[in-house]
Amino acid sequence: MADRMRELVDILNEASKAYYAEDHEIMSNFEYDKLYDELVALEQETGITLSDSPTVHVGYEVVSELPKERHPAPMLSLDKTKDVGALADWLNGKEGLLSWKMDGLTVVLTYDNGELVKAVTRGNGEIGEVITANAKTFKNIPLRISYKGRLSVRGEAVISYSDFEKINSRIPDTDAKYKNPRNLCSGSVRQLNSEITAKRNVRFFAFSMVEPEDKELVDSFENSFKKRFEYLESLGFQVVEYKEVTSETIADAVKSFAEKIPQNDFPSDGLVLDLEDVAYGKSLGMTAKFPRDAIAFKWQDEEAETTLTEIEWSPSRTGLINPVAIFEPVDLEGTEVRRASLHNISYVKDMKLGLGDRIKVYKANMIIPQISENLTKSGSLEIPDTCPACGAATVIKNENGTETLNCPNPECPAKNIKLFSLFVSRNAMNIDGISEATLERFIAEGFLHDIYKLSDYKDRIVVLDGFGEKSYNNMLSSIEKSRKCTMEGFLYGLGISGIGVANAKLIVRYFKSDFDRIMNATAAELCEIEGVGDVMARDFTEYMSKADKREEIERLLSEIEFVIEENTAEQDLEGKTFVITGSLNSFPNRDALKKVIEDRGGKVAGSVSSKTSYLINNDINSNSSKNKNAKKLGVPIITEEDFLNL
C-alpha cells in the first residue's frame, strides 16, 4: 500500500504542478479526482499521510517573474463531493447559497479609500503573484468604489467561451491555438505586459470578501452570506450566479445549474455551497486543508460504453503527430460524440488501447470528450512508423517521462500548415472554402503541394466526408478568382518574417508596383521606407536570397496575375499617422476608412503613441483607453466628419 501511495502522490503533484504553475494539463479532472479519492481512502485505511501528499498541501509554487506576496491568511481549497445527497447532509438543516465554481484563476482585489490598490493571484494558497496593473484592465471590475475603508474581494478571473473562440480564430497556426479558456485566462492574467491582458477580455466574478475591519459594516450584513453578495453588487461587482437552498431544495437547484451548462458562456468545473449563516460557519473552524463553512460539488460525469474503431494520427506544424480516438457514436449530455483526444503515446500505452476495445467515454466538465476507462485493455494498437503527411520515418521522443510521436522531416507539408493558411487568408490571396481544418485534411491525404494544382485531386476530394461536388466547385472557383490578386496581398501571403499587410503595402508603393525591383531590393533601399527597420530589411533580403524561395515565387508568379490599381488620390495625408476606434457612420467598416487614408499617403496604426497624428473616434468624450492615451499625449481626437473635412 505504501508503494501505491507514493506513486499516487508523485502523479498528483506532477499534475498539480503542470496545472497551477505551468498552465497546461497532463490529465483530466476526472482522472485527477479518481486518483485523489484513491489516495484519501488509502490514507484513511493506513493512518499514514506522506509529507508531500496533495491532501495536506495546497496548489504549487508560482514560477513567473511577477512580484510575489504572501497572503495574510492561507487561501485553502474546498472539500468536495459528487453526491447531491451529501450536500443535503452537509447543510444539516441550515440554509445555504449555491453558486458556480468557475474555472479560471482566483484573484484577490484590495481596495483602500475607494481605490483599487492591489490584486494578487491565489498562487499556491500561501504566496501569490501581484498582478495589479493587469487586473485594472479586467472588463467588469470597478476601479473605484463608494466604500472608503479597506476591503478585499475574492473572485475568479475568467475568459468566456465566445471570447476564447474569437481569440483562437485569429491564430492561423493550429499548434499555437490555446487549449481551453482556463489556460488562456491564466496566461493572460499573469502577463508581464498589461496591454496584452487588456486585449483578452478577462472578466472578474466575485465570490466572497475577506472580513472587513469596519465593525459597523460587518454588523450590517447580519451574518448573512447573501447580504455580502448584495453589498458587493451594490459596489459595482459582478458576483457569481447563486441560489438560496435548503436540504429539501438543494437537488432541484443543482439540476437547475446543470441545465444551464450547454448555454453557459463561462467555463465552470462544478458548484460551491456556502453556509448562509457566516458566524455559524466560522464557528466550525477548519481542517489543515479545508474550511468547514463551504464545500465544492463536482459534476458526476455521465459515462457511456462504446467500441474503439480507429485511431487518427494527426500531424502538426511542429512535427508532433497527435493521436485521436474514433469510436462508435454515443450520446453524452445531449449531444452525439464520436471522437476524443488521446494526448500522447504514453497515454495510449497507459490505457492499453487497441482497435475493437470496449471503452468508457465521458465529457470532462460536461464539455470535453475524454476516455475514462478501457474495459478490454488489449494493448494491441500499433504506433505508426511513418508520417501520414509525408511518409518519412517517425521518431518517438521522451521528454520528462512523456512519450510523443514526431515527424523529423523538415520538408513535411504538415509543418507548412501555417504558411498555407496565411497564403489563403483574406488579406493575402483571399481564397474562400479552404479553412485550416481543410488544409490539414488535404495535407494528411497528400493532396497539398500546390494550391493551384488541387484540381488534380478532384476525384479524391469530392468523396471526403463533408465535401462533395458543390463544395469542391466553390473552392475551385475561389482559387481561380485568386489568380488575379493585389501585389501587396501576394507579398504578405509569402509569410516573410515581419512583413504584415501594412508593410507589404508600403513596400509595393515605394517600388511603384515593380515586383522585380521588390525581389531584388537591398537592405539599404528597404530602410529608406518609413516604417521598415534594419531587422525587417534583413529578414526580407535573406528570404529573397534563398534559391528555394525564389523558385517557389517564380512558380507562383506563373499561376497568377497582379491587378495594379492606379491611385489617383491626392497625397495630402503623407507623413500623417491615424488610429481608428469605435463605430463608424460614413464608412461601411474600418478597412474602407483605412484604404482612403492609405490611398492619400497616410498610415494607420493600431494603438495611440506620440507619433500618432489623429485618433478617429465618433465618441470624442468616451473613456476608452485610446481616448485617454490620446488626451495624455496631446493627440487630437476627431470624428469621421472632421476627418472628411481635412
Bigger pLDDT: 447 vs 228: 228
Strands of 454-529 (E only): list them.
484-485
pLDDT value at residue 229: 94
pLDDT bracket for residue 61 (50, 70, 90): very low
| Best mean pLDDT range from 167-171, 237-241, 395-399 | 237-241
pLDDT value at residue 518: 94
pLDDT value at residue 34: 82
Q: Is 342 exposed, middle or buried (0-12, 13-18, 19+ CB in 10 A)?
A: buried
User: What is the pTM assigned to this prediction?
Assistant: 0.52
CA trace torsion 498, 499, 503, 507 (10° rounding): 120
pLDDT value at residue 62: 46
Tens of pLDDT, residues 108-144: 999 998 889 999 999 888 888 999 988 988 988 888 8
Q: Where on the phi/psi map is residue 501: left (φ > 0), alpha (ψ -120 to 50), or beta?
A: alpha
CA-angle at 511, arms to 505 and 515, nearest 5°:
85
Average the pLDDT over 10-27 and give the result: 70
Query: Pairing state of beta strands 561-562 and 484-485?
Result: parallel
pLDDT at 565 over 80: no
Give exposure, 140-178, as e/b (b: 16+ Cβ within 10 Å). ebbeebeeeeebbbebbbbbbeebbeebeeeebebeeeb
Residue 204 · residue 107 · CB < 8 Å: yes
pLDDT at 63 over 50: no
Looking at residue 33, the DSSP 8-state letter turns out to be H
pLDDT value at residue 139: 84
Q: What is the average pLDDT score of the chain?
A: 84
Of 82, 94, 101, 512, the catalytic one is 101
Give exposure, 366-390, as e/b (b: 16+ Cβ within 10 Å). bbebbbbbbeeeeeebeeeeebbbb
pLDDT at 422 over 50: yes
pLDDT at 442 over 90: no
CA-angle at 58, arms to 74 and 122, nearest 5°:
55
Bigger pLDDT: 407 vs 194: 407
Tens of pLDDT, residues 481-503: 999 999 999 999 998 877 888 78
pLDDT value at residue 11: 84
Question: For the ranges 42-56, 101-115, 512-526, 606-620, which has the lowest average pLDDT?
Answer: 42-56
Separation of alpha carbons 472 and 487, rounded Å: 27
Tens of pLDDT, residues 322-362: 898 999 988 876 677 888 888 888 888 888 999 999 999 88
- Whole-number percent of the chain with pLDDT over 70: 91
Q: Is 585 exposed, middle or buried (0-12, 13-18, 19+ CB in 10 A)?
A: exposed
3-state secondary structure 224-275: EHHHHHHHHHHCCCCECCEEEECCCCHHHHHHHHHHHCCCCCCCEEEEEEEE
Separation of alpha carbons 324 and 308, rounded Å: 11
Tens of pLDDT, residues 200-247: 889 999 999 988 888 888 888 889 999 999 999 888 889 999 999 999
pLDDT value at residue 60: 41
Q: Give 315's strand partners.
A: 321
For residue 556 the three cell numbers come to 507562383
Question: For the ranges 164-173, 295-304, 446-455, which has the lowest average pLDDT?
Answer: 164-173
pLDDT value at residue 76: 83
pLDDT value at residue 212: 84
Average the pLDDT over 358-367 and give the result: 76
Average the pLDDT over 2-16 and give the result: 78
Average the pLDDT over 380-401 and give the result: 87
pLDDT at 624 over 80: no
Looking at residue 20, the DSSP 8-state letter turns out to be I
Residue 466 · residue 443 · CB < 8 Å: no
Active site residue 166: no
Strands of 539-580 (E only): list them.
561-562, 577-580
Residue 210 · residue 108 · CB < 8 Å: yes
Question: For the ranges 445-454, 553-562, 610-619, which has the lowest average pLDDT?
Answer: 445-454
pLDDT value at residue 51: 56
pLDDT bracket for residue 365 (50, 70, 90): low
Average the pLDDT over 453-462 and give the result: 87
Q: Give 98's strand partners.
A: 243, 273
- Whole-number percent of the chain with pLDDT over 90: 25
pLDDT at 22 over 60: no
